[in-house]
């Protein structure tokens, strides 16, 4: 018997509805017995907070609700809980009530970029579709803290239909990312309905699901769920492991079921102070993930959402971690480090600099070891003027359905065929002066 099984047995017994582990792997049982108050948490783990602490904790969960699945609770090391990475992700801290001036309810402006409720359409060809506003476990570092657990905001079928309708009438959308909350909180039949509706839309090429279930409630990945998901390929799933301790036997089993069903798996990690802000932890996590057929996708700089300041690290910490990954381990174990731009600019990749300098025919680079090297560029390279007339191009892009091509942003500045030579901020003072004919 593994150590977790003993702890799980003790927790199941204290929950009191069962004397053995027979219900432990039933995800609905887990949801019914999610820990939602401080007293139950204390009782199950045999931890006691003093009255003052308890009052602060109550105040915190009044604003940001508490929910921990018995499974995820069983991963907490209670002998050393204060510094435990699982505890810190799951259990409230009064620090969450400290809101600094740079923090916002909706720092990524997801609501401003929302054409209909539930949809955020930020990028040219894909949308975020929030189909559930509840989770089995409320991550303390959630970027959507403002919304999760709000019982009034569980979208009904009508609201989902509005989202589906928007996607149906917006042919540029070729990729739909189901998010939430956790989409896998929906019953199989409801999820099946949403996926079926999406699959019936001809321009939707790819469907993605973002879910933390493999981490916080791996028993959700049932054969029944796999049968549903398998009907709607190509379907991708991104999950959210933050620490190697989360990769348990049950989590591995869930990942294996998903991978065996042909679902490409990715992982998004958030860099969190006191949880995983260490190159060794992240490297180990990335290696464990690829062992389980999960491709590390993003490493996020912690967002500027309200109540997350105690979780934030300097960007330099992320950079240091990237330096310890690139070259040091398998390329496919290296995620892209991103900062999600406050104000809705989207994810911006940040990487250490490997390009040192360049001359007309030569670039100077450094590698992960600090070796400095040169790359000789071709003597001759004939630049061909591109007018985006692909039918006449020697590169022969004779593909159907590539569609209209209009360059966006920086891509437009680089293109031959577009006349834009500069991009100017909307409220540029110099431009205002020109149009007003007087200084500001
Ligand atoms: C992250 C995100 C996406 C998906 O971005 P990818 O880089 O394609 O993974 C889409 N829409 C919104 C609003 C997002 O935040």
Q: What is the mean pLDDT of the chain?
A: 93
Question: In which residue are the tokens 């999950």 written?
Answer: 239
Rounded Cα–Cα distance for residues 221 and 230 (Å): 12
Name the closest-CA residue to atom 12, ligand 1.
128
Domain residues for the domain of 141 are: 119-349
> Into how many domains does the chain fold?
4
Residues at the binding site for [4Fe-4S] cluster are: 135, 139, 142
Residue 338 sits at φ, ψ, to 5 deg, of -130, 150
108 domain-assigned: no
Q: What is the DSSP letter of 94?
A: G
Shared-domain flag, residues 47 and 61: yes
CB-based contact 71:250 (threshold 8 Å): yes
**pLDDT tens, residue by residue, 91-117:** 999 999 999 889 888 888 888 899 999
Q: Is 348 exposed, middle or buried (0-12, 13-18, 19+ CB in 10 A)?
A: exposed
pLDDT in tens, the chain (440 residues): 566 678 888 898 888 765 567 899 999 999 999 999 999 999 999 999 999 999 999 999 999 999 999 999 999 999 999 999 999 999 999 999 999 889 888 888 888 899 999 999 999 999 999 999 999 999 999 998 877 776 666 788 999 999 999 999 999 999 999 998 999 999 999 999 999 999 999 999 999 999 999 999 999 999 999 999 999 999 999 999 999 999 999 999 999 999 999 999 999 999 999 999 999 999 999 999 999 999 999 999 999 999 999 999 999 999 999 999 999 999 999 999 999 998 889 999 999 999 999 999 999 999 999 999 999 999 999 988 888 888 888 888 776 655 556 788 999 999 988 889 999 988 999 988 988 765 54
Shared-domain flag, residues 173 and 317: yes
Shared-domain flag, residues 196 and 60: no
Q: What is the DSSP letter of 104?
A: B
CA 124 to ligand 1 centroid distance, Å: 10
Q: Please name every residue paired with 355 in a beta bridge, in sequence order, or none if there are none.
A: 365
Probe residue for ligand 1, chosen from 127, 340, 347, 349 as the CB with the greatest number of ligand atoms within 8 Å: 347
Residue 6: the pLDDT is 84
Shared-domain flag, residues 174 and 135: yes
Distance of CA 36 to the CA centre of its chain: 24
**pLDDT tens, residue by residue, 46-75:** 999 999 999 999 999 999 999 999 999 999
102 domain-assigned: no
**pLDDT tens, residue by residue, 278-311:** 999 999 999 999 999 999 999 999 999 999 999 9
Shared-domain flag, residues 412 and 327: no
265 domain-assigned: yes
| Pick from 80, 64, 147: nearest CA to 111 | 147
Ligand 1 pocket by Cβ (under 6 Å): 120, 122-123, 126, 128, 177, 347
432 domain-assigned: yes
Residue 302 belongs to domain with CATH number? 3.20.20.70
Shared-domain flag, residues 8 and 138: no
Shared-domain flag, residues 254 and 277: yes
Catalytic residues: 122-123, 126, 135, 139, 142, 144, 303, 340, 347
Shared-domain flag, residues 185 and 304: yes
166 domain-assigned: yes
Residue 297 CB coordination number (10 Å): 18
Shared-domain flag, residues 180 and 269: yes
CA 79 to ligand 1 centroid distance, Å: 39
């Amino acid at each position: 018997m593994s150590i977790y099984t003993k702890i799980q047995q003790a927790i199941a017994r204290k929950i009191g509805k069962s004397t053995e582990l027979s219900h432990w792997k039933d995800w609905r049982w887990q949801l019914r017995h999610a820990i939602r108050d401080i007293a139950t948490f204390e009782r199950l783990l045999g931890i006691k907070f003093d009255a003052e602490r308890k009052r602060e904790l109550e105040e915190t969960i009044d604003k940001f609700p508490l929910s921990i699945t018995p499974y995820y609770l069983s991963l907490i090391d209670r002998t050393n809980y204060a510094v435990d990475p699982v505890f810190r992700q799951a259990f409230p801290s009064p620090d969450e009530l400290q809101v600094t001036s740079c923090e916002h309810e909706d720092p990524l402006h997801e609501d401003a970029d929302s054409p209909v409720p539930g949809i955020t359409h930020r990028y040219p060809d894909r949308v975020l579709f929030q189909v559930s506003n509840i989770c089995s476990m409320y991550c303390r570092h959630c970027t959507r803290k403002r919304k999760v657990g709000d019982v009034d905001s569980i979208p009904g079928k009508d609201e989902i239909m509005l989202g589906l309708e928007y996607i149906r009438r917006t042919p540029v959308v070729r990729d739909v990312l189901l998010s939430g909350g956790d989409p896998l909180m929906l019953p199989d039949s409801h999820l099946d309905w949403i996926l079926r509706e999406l699959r019936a839309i001809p321009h939707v090429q790819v469907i993605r699901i973002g879910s933390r279930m493999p981490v916080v409630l791996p028993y959700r990945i049932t054969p029944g769920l796999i049968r549903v998901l398998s009907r709607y390929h190509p379907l991708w799933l991104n999950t959210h492991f933050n620490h190697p301790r989360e990769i348990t036997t049950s989590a591995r089993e869930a990942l294996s079921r998903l991978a065996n069903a042909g679902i490409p798996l990715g992982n998004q990690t958030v860099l969190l102070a006191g949880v995983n802000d260490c190159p060794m932890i992240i490297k180990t996590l990335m290696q464990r993930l690829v062992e389980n057929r999960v491709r590390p996708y993003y490493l996020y700089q912690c967002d500027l959402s309200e109540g997350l300041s105690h979780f934030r690290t300097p960007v330099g910490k992320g950079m240091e971690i990237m330096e310890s990954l690139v070259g040091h381990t398998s390329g496919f174990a290296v995620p892209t480090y991103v900062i999600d731009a406050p104000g809705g600019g989207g994810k911006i990749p940040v990487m250490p600099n490997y390009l040192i300098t360049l001359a007309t025919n030569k670039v100077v680079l450094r590698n992960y070891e600090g070796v400095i090297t040169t790359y000789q560029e071709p003597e001759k390279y004939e630049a061909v003027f591109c007018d985006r007339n692909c039918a006449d191009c020697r590169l022969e892009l004779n593909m159907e359905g590539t569609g209209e091509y209009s360059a966006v942003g920086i891509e437009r500045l680089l293109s031959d065929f577009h006349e834009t030579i500069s991009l100017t901020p909307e409220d540029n003072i110099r431009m205002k002066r020109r149009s007003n004919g007087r200084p500001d």
